Amino acid sequence: MRPEMTAASLDTAARTSAERGALARARLLRGLLPALSLALVLLAIAWLNPRAISYFGFSLMLNLAIPIALATIAQMFVIAGNELDLSIGTFVGFVGCVTATWLKDAPLIGAVILLGSIGVYALLGALIHLRNLPSIVVTLGMSFVWQGLAILVLPKPGGKAPDWLLGLMAFKPPFIPFPIIAALLIGLIVHFGLMRTSYGVILRGSGGNPAALGRAGWSLLKTKIVLFALAGLFGVLSGMALIGITTSADANIGNGYTLLAIAGVILGGGEFVGGRVSPIGAVIGALTLALAASPLLTFMHIPPDWQVAANGAILIIVLAARVLISRKER
Amino acid sequence: MTSVKSLLAKPWIWSFIGALLVWLATIAFTGGYGAGGMVTAALSLAVFTVIVGVGQMFVITLGPGNVDLSLPANIGLASAVAMKVMDGNDSMIAVGLLAALACGAAIGAANYLLIWALRIPPIIATLSASFIIQSIDISYGRGLQIKPPPGFADFANWQILGIPVLAILTVLFTIGAAIALQRMIYGRSVLAIGQNIRAAWLAGVNVGRIRFLTYTLSGALGGIDGALLAGYFRGANVDIGNEYLLASIAVVVIGGTSVAGGKANVPGVWGAALFLVLLLTMLNTFGVSAGVRLLLTGLIIVGVITAAGGQKAPR
């Protein structure tokens, strides 16, 4: 009886190790998917217009990639905690309006306002946790608040970015366009913080299994506050970067970023529940969307009417590919 | 006394109390002037939020993560389709309404197809779909300046004794929706899926079919809403549905429906829609600027949801 059982269990062990290999391959493929989709979009662009693949072409196409990537990272922190921020777009617009007015004319007051708005984000995290509120509705309400404040700060489009910010965003490093370097830097810094530090694991765990984390003695209130404050911080950076590029502001300037940011996180391999997010993936997702929405598409026989659809189509194609891979993973 | 107590225990009563308070505050400000006109205007505008709100309510009741983000794009496209089919011609009103309904239902069905085939969260499915619908609408409705047929515009603005006919019809529709929710197999299945999708499946509920029906219903209601909006505002445009993304979700939640699913409330949708419309009327009457109006609207939504509190049940 005994040897037989051992043989059987050895057999299962062998099979599971083979299965584990397949599983690892599928997981690797899944991890590479965001990069593959970016490569695919790049190939399509190179095929349609070879001249776009140049220092100048990338600087132009990825013009708005930095603010989109920062807003996507902001959304990623919120999604890591199983919540959703529907106000990040109008928040970016509000920050933009403050940057183009207060931060230029009275830098100290401007900085205090921006820090205060990060504080508001932290408070929202606390409110959502303490009252067990649906984040979708709270941030929906906040999207009105930020938009209203933006209009109060800057009733008409205008204002001007501070000179140091203009100088920073106009930086032209040799060989590699600035947006690519910046995106890489953002991705790596957040990757280190969220994926490689012990508190980063706790933060992701608060989305993965909040009950277990709470029983292990970690404060879920604190993790939610930290996640929302980080979202606020990256929202502020996104708004400032945006104004550094556009040079002036408008109360509606960030409105499209809410949906772009959610799409970027999902394209980058993030999931809505379970704390499964990827900072580098999110940045790649943001780059893919920035390319898909870039003004260069106009020159590529894609009429402007259909540029929004291009974003939707890319999302659907990538998600379809992910389903095919996940089926293997099972 | 007990009847008052049981009335106060209903989750939807608070949205009506809120609407009443806002209305009283406004007529106190105007000294009683325009009190009736305000109710008429509020009823006519609330109708459009209620119609999409009911669709959104059924979708949200399906459980966490279920939400229809494609409604604004859907409303925009359906309004253009309705106006183009009617082509200013009174005899084509019914055909145009059917076309808008079919267009919306097709969008809803496509939404569920994406959710089912790609197994992606409904938020992302309806979001991707809305990007594509928006493009179709921009391309299809470009330069579209067709006025609704006079008969249809008159119908959308028709009032009997100060009560908009559209509001009366919508009340009848919501009564039907409430019966469907609480007394029919379809509604009970939606509630069951929202409470526990696995248990519902084990109990023999055809989960796939019910979810398909629900997304199609939400799409169809968005389509009919688009046609009615184009009639009421005398013309279609791409942005006509924009405010209904936030509004449809807000009325569902303020109206006492659980975001976690499995608990829906039809009367609350009416109360919340009236509350939101009257709130805007009040802020306009007070003469506040656009910025302050948005700011206060947002703060009040956050305040109401904080006061109402979340669900104790685990997510």
How high is the ipTM of this complex?
Answer: 0.82
Average the pLDDT over each of A151-165, A284-298, B87-101 and give the range with the smallest value: A284-298
Q: What is the pLDDT of residue A47?
A: 81
Q: What is the pLDDT of residue B89?
A: 84
Q: What are the residue ranges of helices labelled H in chain A?
A: 2-48, 55-61, 65-80, 88-100, 102-105, 107-130, 135-153, 163-169, 178-195, 198-208, 210-215, 220-246, 257-267, 279-292, 307-329
Please state the rounded mean pLDDT for residues A183-193: 94
Number of independent structural domains in chain A = 1
Question: Does B128 reach chain A within 8 Å, measured CB to CB?
Answer: yes
Distance, C-alpha A58 to centroid of its chain: 20
pLDDT in tens, A197-208: 999 999 999 988
Distance CA A39, CA A32 (A): 11
Q: B309 to chain A: which residues are within 8 Å by CB?
A: 131-133
Is A80 within the bounds of a domain?
Answer: yes
CB contact under 8 A, B135 and A308: yes
Q: A262 to chain B: which residues are within 8 Å by CB?
A: 123-124, 127
Taking CA atoms, what residue in B is nearest to A322? B118
- Out of A52-56, A69-73, A160-164, the most confident range is A69-73
Please state the rounded mean pLDDT for residues A67-84: 94
CB B125, CB B211: distance < 8 Å: no
Better-predicted residue by pLDDT, A97 or A254: A97
Instruction: Share the mean pLDDT of chain A.
Output: 85
CB contact under 8 A, B253 and A137: yes
Domains of chain B: 12-25+32-308 (1.10.3470)
Q: What is the pLDDT of residue B311?
A: 54
Average the pLDDT over each of A3-7, A191-195, B15-19 and give the range with the smallest value: A3-7
Residue window 227-246, chain B: list those with CB within 8 Å of chain A. 246
Q: What is the pLDDT of residue A57?
A: 81
Residue window 193-232, chain B: list those with CB within 8 Å of chain A. none
Question: Does B292 reach chain A within 8 Å, measured CB to CB?
Answer: yes
Better-predicted residue by pLDDT, A297 or B226: B226
Better-predicted residue by pLDDT, A56 or A280: A280
Is A26 within the bounds of a domain?
Answer: no
Give A249's strand partners: A158
pLDDT in tens, B149-174: 888 888 888 888 888 999 999 999 99
Structural domain boundaries, residue A219: 33-325
Distance CA A137, CA A254 (A): 19
Question: Which of A278, A241, A279 has the alpha carbon at shortest distance from A92?
Answer: A241
User: Residue B301: which of A140, A147, A313 has the nearest Cβ?
Assistant: A140
Better-predicted residue by pLDDT, B307 or B19: B19
Q: Which residue has the tokens 């104790």?
A: B312
Distance CA A178, CA A321 (A): 31
Taking CA atoms, what residue in A is nearest to B300? A141
Structure tokens at A129: 């946790």
Please state the rounded mean pLDDT for residues A138-164: 92
Better-predicted residue by pLDDT, A321 or B277: B277
Is A3 within the bounds of a domain?
Answer: no
Q: What is the pLDDT of residue A4?
A: 45
- For chains A and B, CB pairs below 8 A equal 149
Q: For A329, what's the count of Cα atoms within 13 Å in the CB-facing half-sphere? A: 13
Average the pLDDT over each of A69-83, A94-108, B243-257 and give the range with the smallest value: B243-257
Distance, C-alpha B85 to centroid of its chain: 24
Q: How far is A171 from chain B (nearest CA, A)?
A: 33
Is A258 within the bounds of a domain?
Answer: yes
pLDDT at A310 over 80: no
Distance CA A78, CA B246 (A): 19
Q: For A7, what's the count of Cα atoms within 13 Å in the CB-facing half-sphere? A: 4
Is A151 within the bounds of a domain?
Answer: yes
Distance CA A220, CA A214 (A): 6
CB B272, CB B15: distance < 8 Å: yes
Instruction: Share the mean pLDDT of chain B.
Output: 87
Please state the rounded mean pLDDT for residues A112-121: 97
Taking CA atoms, what residue in A is nearest to B140? A305
**In terms of residues, how long is chain A?**
330
Is A64 within the bounds of a domain?
Answer: yes
pLDDT at A30 over 80: no
Q: What is the DSSP letter of A305?
A: G
Q: What is the pLDDT of residue A148?
A: 94
Is A240 within the bounds of a domain?
Answer: yes
Question: Does B305 reach chain A within 8 Å, measured CB to CB?
Answer: yes
Q: What is the pLDDT of residue A16?
A: 65
Q: What is the pLDDT of residue A49?
A: 76
pTM of the model: 0.84
pLDDT at B175 over 70: yes
pLDDT at B199 over 80: yes
